[in-house]
Amino acid sequence: MNEVPTVFQRRIIIGAVLSIAAFALVGIRLVHVTLLKSLDGVRAAEQVVARADLTDRNGELLARDLPVKDLYARPKVFWDKQEAARGLAEATGASETRLLNGFNNAKNPYVLVARQITPDTEAKVMHLGLPGLEFETGGKRYYPDGRNAAQVIGVTDPDNNGVSGLELGLQDEIRAAAGGKVATSIDTRVQYILAHEVNAAREMFRAKAGAGLVMDVNNGEVLGMVSIPNFDPNTRRLSPGDSTRNAIAQDIYELGSVFKIFSFALGFEDRTIRLDESFPIGQGYKIGKHTIHEAERMPATLLGRDILAQSSNIGTAQIALRSGGVRQREFLTHLGLLRPVQSELPETARPLYPSNWGTIETATVGFGHGISVSPLSFATATATVVNGGRRISPTFIKQSASDLRGEQVIKPQTSQAMRDLLRYVVTDGTGGKADVPGYDVGGKTGSAQVPGPNGRYIPHALRTSFVAVFPAHNPRYIVFVTLDQPHGTKETFGFALAGYTAAPMAGRIIQRVAPLLGVPNNAPPTKLASGYP
């Protein structure tokens, strides 16, 4: 005979059932909150993707994740939303208006107060004694070198995704090596010297901007890349006058006379010039209705070697016309100058060149006008010209091999002749202020007019550049520097041409970085200056 449960037993059974039901509901709720979208708007934690350290080639830190916290608030529990908004704004720097609007929005149970707050800010927030605050652990990217390498290293967004520079270009490598290191080609010593000298020259000559590059001519490693004005990647906001633009990789412009290097290289390739040949210069060179003039006074005639050394537009135009437009375009294409340069940097630029490549275009392109390329593209092509004539590609990853030269682009004899000629420009031409005793510097000056917003050139405005190769007899590195609209000084007798502004800057950089890079200070005698056969 079955016994009827007592009242006490019934209560136990009912309590057990209710407990089981309660635990079941809690379990279902936990699954729902963590795996499914919340029905009441409870904030789901966002996963911050960890990133590897970025280092320079010697292991020096360039970028690292630091632990930080994001602050959220539940305004429903605030007893005074306006007072809470005011206090949190003062503690974190957030907008009081934004916070109050968020607190008064009944649809939003959680409001983001501030992201990536520091321990000091967290302490200020806790001192407010407000209920309903939640801290979510995350990561913030920190850049020890600050402005020095800002454009080339780049930055991440608040979710730790790369948005520019190598942070974006090397994103796959950085994520794959989370917790480890990714070694770049940058040398922080070279980077610092480059930034210091470019900034000093910019200030000295009151230029609008300045930029520089140091590259290995044999494996394409970029040891330093600077653009000024720059920005502080740690603040995530721009101050007046700051710029995030990488002028070396992103800007394209007429480079002027440094581009004459390629006209002479083509002339040597085609055997259309002799360095001891005399060229008529005169007061102007007419091509149809156009007349080419010199930037400075020139003698009535110049030898082939002195056309480059003295930077004659008229002489270079004649040399370019000997090869002709079809051949010139083919040569520049083969050097990679008529397409965007490829590297790990996401920032790049498409060159501008004539659609109708006629006689006058051939002449002006020959001395660096009518064609616009990026400094990175130009430096890469110049490295090919001087490194024995073999193609290289710029890279921002530390390489295990010191020689990564590819296919032969120009003859080795042409490369040798160009090295001798660039050395002659420094010993006997416009590049004299770039000379560094013992380091056998070769190079070329360039002073190009600056176009204005209406397409016409700005009167008396120049963009000056200098490209240097050292040691010239056995090249290891290219240095390229540029200043946007420098002004002459008392020391330069009022002149702002590249020989007075960009060339000495390049010389100072070489003088400082050459010993650090192990370049021997024992240059052999210079061929052309001592009498070229």
Which residues are the active-site residues? 257
- What is the distance, to the nearest Å, from the Cα of residue 92 to the centroid of all Cα atoms in its chain? 32
Could you tell me the CA-to-CA distances from 337 to 160, 188, 271, 379 in Å, in that order? 35, 29, 22, 10
- Describe the strand order of the beta sheet including 209-216 as a list of residue ranges: 222-228, 209-216, 477-484, 457-470, 442-451
Torsion of CA 401, 406, 408, 412, to 10 degrees: -10
Amino acid in position 247? A
Torsion angle (degrees, nearest 10) of CA 338, 344, 345, 346: 80
Tokens 């007075």, located at residue: 500
Cis ω before 229 (30° cut-off from 0): yes
Distant-in-sequence contacts of 283-289, Cβ < 8 A, 24+ apart: 284/314, 285/313, 285/314, 285/317, 285/318, 285/363, 287/317, 287/359, 287/360, 287/363, 288/359, 288/360
Q: Are 269 and 322 in contact (CB under 8 A)?
A: no
Q: In angstroms, how far is the first alpha carbon of the chain from the final one?
A: 129
In 3D, which of 210, 466, 261 has the Cα closest to residue 381? 261
Q: How far apart are CA 217 and CA 220, in angstroms?
A: 6
Q: Which residues does residue 182 pair with via DSSP β-bridges, in sequence order?
A: 54
Q: Residue 205 and residue 208: Cα distance in Å, rounded?
A: 9
